[in-house]
């Protein structure tokens, strides 16, 4: 059984979705960079090991990332899952976990990298929006895409209403991506991810919610 470590900074709603999905993985630990991250209590209540490593007081991003990597590796994970971990990661850290660290981003990458994705989608007048699960690379919010989910952008959408619909999709596709990794079904070829043993690949790697 694959071992995973989940990194969070806040409430950890995607972490909770992964835990509730009853995936064929062992969650070795949940690690936060903030002591008040709400997801720590959720994980602890389920008997999952938790740890906090604050980034404050470190002389550089690289110094913090080095200690974070040592902490993660002490749990011997096969996969590192970023679930609302609000840190830009150094290149050395990312290279250390190449093809075994994934992230979820609230846009249809490569569109709208960075922050304020929902507001920017509305401002740009796009007709569809969504979220993406991808392997992490040194370039922020880039990397081979595992799966995506799409929602329509409605005429009366606000940043709040759109974000809520996208979050529902995040909770669907992130557990799916972790499951595929755990089952050994993902392979990375250049900047593309292939999912093995699917009769209809698009039906599984692209989710379009229906009313």
pLDDT in tens, 142-157: 999 999 999 999 999 9
Tell me which of 77, 97, 117 is where a domain ends.
97
Label the pairing between strands 79-82 and 101-105.
parallel
Tell me which of 81, 97, 113 is where a domain ends.
97
Tell me which of 97, 123, 148 is where a domain ends.
97
Q: Which distant-in-sequence residues (6+ apart) come within 8 Å of 45 by Cβ?
A: none
DSSP reduced 3-state for 169: helix
Do 108 and 143 belong together in one domain? yes
Contact between 18 and 174 (Cβ < 8 Å):
yes
97-151: per-residue pLDDT in tens? 999 999 999 999 999 999 999 999 999 999 999 999 999 999 999 999 999 999 9
- Domain with 172, as residue range(s), is 104-211
CATH of the domain at 77: 3.40.50.170
DSSP reduced 3-state for 192: strand
What integer pLDDT is reported at residue 203 of this predicted model? 52
Do 119 and 190 belong together in one domain? yes
Q: Enumerate the active-site residues.
A: 105
Contact between 103 and 86 (Cβ < 8 Å):
no
pTM metric for this prediction = 0.94
Nearest to 176, CA basis, from 29, 18, 19, 43: 18
């Amino acid at each position: 059984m694959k071992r995973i470590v989940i990194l969070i900074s806040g409430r950890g709603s995607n972490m909770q979705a992964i835990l509730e999905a009853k995936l064929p993985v062992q969650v070795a630990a949940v690690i936060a960079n903030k002591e008040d991250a709400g997801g720590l209590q959720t994980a602890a209540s389920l008997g999952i090991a938790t740890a906090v490593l604050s980034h404050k007081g470190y002389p550089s991003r690289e110094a913090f990332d080095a200690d974070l990597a040592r902490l993660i590796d002490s749990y011997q994970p096969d996969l590192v899952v970023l679930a609302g971990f609000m840190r830009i990661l150094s290149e050395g850290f990312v290279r250390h976990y190449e093809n075994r660290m994934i992230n979820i981003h609230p846009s249809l990458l490569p569109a709208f990298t960075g922050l304020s994705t929902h507001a920017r989608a509305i401002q740009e007048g796009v007709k569809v929006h969504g979220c993406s699960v991808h392997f992490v690379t040194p370039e922020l919010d880039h990397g081979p895409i595992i799966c995506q989910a799409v929602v329509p952008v409605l005429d009366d959408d606000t940043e709040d209403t759109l974000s809520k619909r996208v979050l529902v999709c995040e909770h669907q596709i992130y557990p799916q991506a972790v499951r595929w990794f755990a089952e050994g079904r993902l392979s990375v070829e250049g900047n593309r991810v292939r999912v093995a043993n699917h009769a209809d690949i698009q039906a599984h790697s692209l989710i379009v919610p229906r009313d």
